[in-house]
Amino acid sequence: MRGMEVSSWVGIVLAVLVAVLVVPSVNGDTSPSQCKEERRLLVNTCRPVIFGRNPSADCCQRVRVTHVECVCPYVTPKLASLIGVERTIKQIQGCGRTVPHKFKCGSITTP
């Protein structure tokens, strides 16, 4: 069961990082309930990415519409240590997006 918990957290972190690194910031008009729903949809839509699959068209679309301020607060050092930034960048590029250099979100800063 412990392995399942770690896998779930890795999936959440990967989905969060994909969203964070791809989605431009907005001016904070997002409600807490909207953010919670965006995170839920993102994790559910992009879950196959944690098993080594490329992002699906639906996952990439979800990444494009999820707000940065909804996911950045959840990127802690503990969660960030579970996945590799390089792998995440490749997944983002799989969505046809450019990853900005030195982008900071939570405890992650891109190379």
pLDDT of residue 38: 92
Q: Which residue's structure tokens are 């699906």? A: 56
- pTM as predicted: 0.69
CA 105 – CA 69 distance, rounded (Å) = 9
Asked whether the beta carbons of 17 and 88 are under 8 A apart, the reply is: yes
Q: Residues with Cβ < 8 Å from 27, sequence gap 6 or more?
A: none
Tell me the DSSP string of 39-98.
HHHHHHHHGGGGGTPPPPHHHHHHHHHS-HHHHGGG--HHHHTTS-HHHHHHHHHHTT-P
Q: What is the pLDDT of residue 1?
A: 46
pLDDT along the chain (111 residues), means of 10: 53 60 58 92 86 86 84 80 72 76 82 81
pLDDT of residue 49: 79
How much is the pLDDT for 40? 92
Q: Which amino acid is at 107?
A: S
pLDDT for 81 equals: 75
- The pLDDT score that the predictor gives to residue 57 is 94
Q: Which residues contact 98 (CB under 8 A, 6 or more apart)?
A: none
Domain definitions of the chain by residue range = 2-109
